Amino acid sequence: KAGVTQTPRYLIKTRGQQVTLSCSPISGHRSVSWYQQTPGQGLQFLFEYFSETQRNKGNFPGRFSGRQFSNSRSEMNVSTLELGDSALYLCASSLVEGQGRETQYFGPGTRLLVL
């Protein structure tokens, strides 16, 4: 079974631009979560989508948004990029089993550099 895929793998943008990242979950997985990872802050939760609905959201400004499609693929968008948005953006998918027993599998990440 193919793993989680993310595109693009690397991205360079300038301040003020916007960016869209894509994530394809493991086949059959319905939940997609997004994380931002930086050396100083570690892994921080952005949001989670399940069946095209945002189920939870982390403490990030409204410039960060996402969506999920009917095939469970997900995109996240960051508008008006700032230097501090430079990070590794990770997508994780899980097969929702209920009872809080969700095992998340990570994609390779998209490394975003904002200049």
Residues in the chain: 115
Could you give the string, one character per residue 12-41, with x where binding to another protein holds by CB under 8 A and - elsewhere? Answer: ---------------------x-x------
**102 near another protein (CB under 8 A):** yes
The secondary structure of residue 9, as a DSSP letter, is S
**107 near another protein (CB under 8 A):** yes
Given 81, 87, 109, 112, the residue binding another protein (CB under 8 A)? 109
Distance (Å, whole) CA 34 – CA 46? 5
Using CB under 8 A as the criterion, which residues of the chain lie in contact with another protein when the complex forms?
Answer: 33, 35, 42-43, 45, 48, 55-56, 58, 88, 90, 92, 99-109
